Amino acid sequence: MSPFKLRSAAWFDGDDEVAVLHRVAAGISADDRGRAVIGIADTSSALNPCQAGFAAIIPELERGIRDGGAVPLRFPVMSLGEDLMKPSAMLYRNLVAMELEEQVRAHPLDGVVYLANCDKTVPAALLAAASARLPALLLLGGSRSAPLFAGRRLGSGTDLWRALEDRRAGMLNDGEWQQLEQTLACAGGGSCNTMGTASTMALVTEALAMALPGSTGCQLGSPELAEIAYRTGRIIADAASTGGAGAGADEVMTAAAVNNALRLVAAVGGSTNAVIHLAAVSGRLGRNLDLAEVDRLWAEVPLLADVEPCGSQLAHDFHDAGGLATLAAEMLPAGLLDGAVRLASGQTMAELAKTAVTDQAVIRPVADPVLPAPTLVVVSGSLAPDGAVLKTAAASSHLWQHTGRAVVFDDYADMRTRLDDPELPVTAEDVLVVRNCGPVGVPGMPEWGMAPIPAALAAAGVRDMVRVSDGRMSGTSFGTVVLHVAPEAAVGGPLAVIADGDLICLDVAARRLDLLVETTELELRLASWQPQTNEHLRGWPKLYRDHVSQAPQGCDLDFLTSPTEESRRFVPPVVGRS
């Protein structure tokens, strides 16, 4: 076997004019020569409050890299924030993954730390790590604080949606609504402090051995977060300097690790968005994430984490209760996790479980869960031939078996325009359908699937209805919302031809979502369907629409997935004079 050689040596070794130019450009001193170079992908941005904490911990990360015998080099990256990016940060997840992969490919890096915290920044980094095939870790930036409103701590997203329901029902006046806004502004930066997509993906990243255990729910500005930053630097420096992490992050994210991640999502009542992101990561690794297998993995996992939106506590409480370590300690004896999977800390999952926090109520035993299994399900049927997802832990159990008339909205704007029309013919038994919200339809698959309860029904006390969409919903949301219906309406899925008054049947026990229309009638409708005109004629949205896959395949671009070993090969650049 040939001795391990640093990738950056192709740039920096030698005394010709090219090597000299490279060392000068990178600031490589005589003492730095021969050391591994670690890229720090910095996603900090004033437009993204989720990433606000990185300025304080980058120095600790750099110190860890230096103490580990490597050289840190920071570079800027496009930042993905759910709060301000429209129509959705999801539209740009693949673009940032491409940027990260190409930055790593083009520069003299032996390893990389991705600074990631917000919903789509974390999966973008995971996709890039899977494709770049170098030693890599993610450093997560911490969750935001929880200011008090009406005597209780505010959970990001979840409590805003609850307050919106109260406001639409006439239970929250204008003054209270303004006070809520002022209180939310006091929360500061960091990721959502509920088990939304950011916290869910943080836990997934720990399970995939791509972030240090204990990262999820760690509060922004805490000394512990600074310590995690330092340790991340030490670990990546060692892995890059010795080849100790194998050929790259792609070998770390094993099939067993992905299965663990999926079961952990179920145990915390996590975001349905995680399914899309894990499908995309699997596609980058040349594996298929089969939705039927996902449902099987979820089937016996109860809700163990008492965290909003499915519980009552916050991500900080989950962290203080031991996070992944305590979950592992509860799930391993029940056979719900693979204890042999190795984590970023070097421990196996079974070894981490020995550090669990005991005698606390935020993470419950399997025998005494917050809610019984399943917490998430995959449904399919004539309305969703390729599948759809429902978070049952956040749904109303009396609606798990339900048949109702369709009330159809052709897109988000149509829904916002007509939903509160007093003339809208809708009852609590109906099924709200919001279509053309999928990856091709918008494009970008925004979180438009959770249609609010119509104002007249909300005022009458209705708090949940069956809703069906080819879009997504925030991980902080709740309700009986069937999401990610595939194929989506914009590509001619059955969702495209539903008419007002058609009967829709949801049967969670049977894992079915059906349009109760005669097969011949449905075939006639589909045969006469015509796609909408594509208004995106240039730039990234056009490229995205032309190449994006459907939700079960992860909404990745077809030329970025890796069906073969050859297509996964990371080709090094030709290093010479530019």
User: pLDDT at residue 107 above 60?
Assistant: yes
User: pLDDT at residue 245 above 50?
Assistant: no
User: pLDDT at residue 569 above 60?
Assistant: no
pLDDT at position 335 is: 98
3 state DSSP class of 71 = strand
pLDDT at position 247 is: 54
pLDDT at position 40 is: 98
Kindly give the interhelix angle for 255-267 and 273-284, rounded to the nearest 10 degrees: 180
pLDDT at position 119 is: 85
pLDDT at position 181 is: 86
Of 496, 499, 466, nearest to 482 (Cα)? 466
Tokens found for residue 168: 């639409």
- The domains found in the chain, sorted by start residue, are 35-145+188-353 (no CATH), 148-185 (no CATH), 377-528 (3.50.30.80)
Other beta carbons within 10 angstroms of residue 175's beta carbon come to 8
What letter represents residue 346's amino acid?
A: G
pLDDT at position 578 is: 62
Q: What is the mean pLDDT of the chain?
A: 92
pLDDT at position 571 is: 60
Segment 487-497, tens digit of pLDDT: 999 999 999 99
Tokens found for residue 271: 């975001």
Alpha helix stretches (DSSP H) within 400-475: 412-418, 455-459
Other beta carbons within 10 angstroms of residue 563's beta carbon come to 12
Any idea which of 156-170, 532-546, 564-578 has the lowest mean pLDDT? 564-578
What letter represents residue 102's amino acid?
A: E
Segment 151-177, tens digit of pLDDT: 788 888 778 878 888 888 888 888 988
pLDDT at position 401 is: 98
188 pLDDT tier (thresholds 50, 70, 90):
confident
Dist CA 354 CA 331 (whole Å)? 12
246 pLDDT tier (thresholds 50, 70, 90):
very low
User: pLDDT at residue 572 above 80?
Assistant: no
Sheet architecture: strand order including 481-486: 377-379, 387-390, 481-486, 466-469, 431-434, 401-409, 503-507, 512-515
Phi, psi of 24 (to 5 degrees): -65, -45
User: pLDDT at residue 577 above 80?
Assistant: no
Mark residue 492 as left, alpha or beta (left: phi above 0; alpha: psi -120 to 50; beta: remaining): left
Q: Which residue has the higher pLDDT, 152 or 329?
A: 329
pLDDT at position 576 is: 67
User: pLDDT at residue 2 above 60?
Assistant: no
Query: Using an 8 Å Cβ cutoff, are 568 and 9 in contact?
Result: no
Dist CA 472 CA 437 (whole Å)? 8
User: pLDDT at residue 126 above 60?
Assistant: yes
63 pLDDT tier (thresholds 50, 70, 90):
very high
Q: Tell me the β-bridge partners of 152.
A: 149
Segment 265-283, tens digit of pLDDT: 999 999 999 999 999 999 9
Q: Which residue has the higher pLDDT, 321 or 574?
A: 321
Distances (CA, A) of 474 to 7, 303, 426, 459, 463: 40, 19, 25, 24, 18
pLDDT at position 283 is: 95
pLDDT at position 565 is: 56
CA atoms within 13 A on the CB side of 221: 7
Of all helices (H) and strands (E), which one includes residue 49? none
Mean pLDDT over 31-59 rounds to 92
pLDDT at position 102 is: 95
Q: Which residue has the higher pLDDT, 38 or 250?
A: 38
Q: Which residue has the higher pLDDT, 46 or 384?
A: 384
Segment 489-530, tens digit of pLDDT: 999 999 999 999 999 999 999 999 999 999 999 999 999 999
Phi, psi of 267 (to 5 degrees): -65, -25
Tokens found for residue 507: 């049967």
1 pLDDT tier (thresholds 50, 70, 90):
very low
User: pLDDT at residue 210 above 90?
Assistant: yes
pLDDT at position 310 is: 93
Dist CA 14 CA 12 (whole Å)? 7
User: pLDDT at residue 385 above 90?
Assistant: yes
20 pLDDT tier (thresholds 50, 70, 90):
very high
Mean pLDDT over 442-470 rounds to 94
Phi, psi of 309 (to 5 degrees): -90, -10
User: pLDDT at residue 473 above 90?
Assistant: yes
Going by their DSSP bridges, the two strands 111-116 and 37-42 should be labelled as: parallel
Query: Using an 8 Å Cβ cutoff, are 35 and 67 in contact?
Result: no
What letter represents residue 317's amino acid?
A: D
3 state DSSP class of 379 = strand
Tokens found for residue 341: 């999977």
346 pLDDT tier (thresholds 50, 70, 90):
very high
Any idea which of 23-27, 152-156, 558-562 has the lowest mean pLDDT? 152-156
Kindly give the interhelix angle for 223-242 and 54-67, rounded to the nearest 10 degrees: 40
256 CB burial (10 A radius; 0-12, 13-18, 19+): middle
pLDDT at position 566 is: 59
Segment 280-315, tens digit of pLDDT: 999 999 999 999 999 999 999 999 999 999 999 999
